[in-house]
Structure 1
Amino acid sequence: MIRSAVAPLRLGTLGLAAILVLGGCSESGGDPNAEAAEKNSSSPTASESPTESASPSATPTPTAAAYKPATAEGPAENVPLPVMPDVAKEESKEGLIAFGEHWFDLVNYGYETGDAAPVREISAPDCEICASFYKDLEEGYVNDDWIQGGELTIRSSGTAFVKTPDGRYQLLLSVIQDAGSNRGPNGKVYGELPGDEASTAQIMEATYVSDHWVVNLVENM
């Protein structure tokens, strides 16, 4: 059963808005110079040397595969890995807030892909809710199963940026989650949970180690 990464035994708050935004793709137009060169092919005059000029053919620009959110028919495809912004690497108030947002982005990425590695890389081994999240992904993506929905959205966040006696900084968040379900091939539905009607107050504790942040704790307040 899918559970919120920040609220054990319940489905948290993910948002479809981010999925819909990521679903767009763009097309690149042709090279106007190539067309002009093709039309400008008149025969040389008597005073001109009939030299042959070969213009290099344009190299097609590679197009990234389009992102597709999970549906009842199959898992998400070509999910882009969230990139940590530079500010999220700073030991500052702004850095902690940006890092917290990035951590939740990676949780959403995990729900869509079953890949827990990005969250593991920036979370402490003793982070209990992280362990619950890893288990959710293991169970949700066993064999050919997948998770649909469950995206978490941060409504607001803030911090006093004062160290606790344990040397951690605390970040307060308001989080809401979309409806989600555990699905399998041939229309199987192992479990469904409705989305949150209201946001949940949560607290994250993180430690700045050397040159990066590490999540120690995330729980409801």
Structure 2
Amino acid sequence: MDQSSASSRIAGAVRDLASEVVFALQSEDHLSTVCGAAGIGEDDRTGIAAVRVIGADLLLPSLLYGRDPHPGDMAVLQRAVIDFPPRAGAPAASAWSHWAMASALGTPRMDDAVLEPDTAWLEQAPWQAFTHQLSVLAPLARPASASAVNRVASHRPADVARGFVRAVRRRDWLQAAGAGRWLATLDGVPDTLGLAAGLDFVQLMGGQDPRVALHLRAAGLIRSGQAR
């Protein structure tokens, strides 16, 4: 299989998986297993790669609704953590994404090797890059998350708001949705932003992308207080 064909298959698997996460977030009767609904098993290499892209959001329905995740989803996420660790020299966001997956599984401990990566690179980022990096790490934007990334974000709500507006103007709907999800978790967001209307606009313009819809649904649940 050539690289372009493999990339196309992974992209399709990512869309399918994100769609199932969105369905689970929207449904009163949540699916017992997101991976099962998307046809992904522990031996599905393409599916495991897609899980690595979705990251900790694979377990988002159970995390937001306070339910135990399905063992099958846990097993597939564990496989993604093992099979796709950050490469040497990988961007810091990759290390944080990996940490978020391990954290969702409940594996990080103070006496383990899986400790929080550094955040100095994020603290020093200008607001444009800061918003971009946060959008990549949107799976960390959820209630009760106390990671160092969340703490850095909590000190820069105005920068995230500026980045959200910039992403909307650039029609970068995935970044706008990720930034909007972060804004739903932060205190001190400027009232002049009009976040609710902004999220509605992103939904209208980019909500057909399942990954955009995933972040927007998460933001809506957080803002409504339905998420735990």
**Shared fold per TM-score greater than 0.5:** no
Structure of higher RCO (CA pairs closer than 8 Å, 6+ residues apart): 1
- Based on CA coordinates, which of the two structures has the bigger radius of gyration? 1
Structure with the higher fraction of residues in strand conformation: 1
Structure with the higher fraction of residues in helix conformation: 2
What TM bracket, shorter-length normalisation? under 0.3
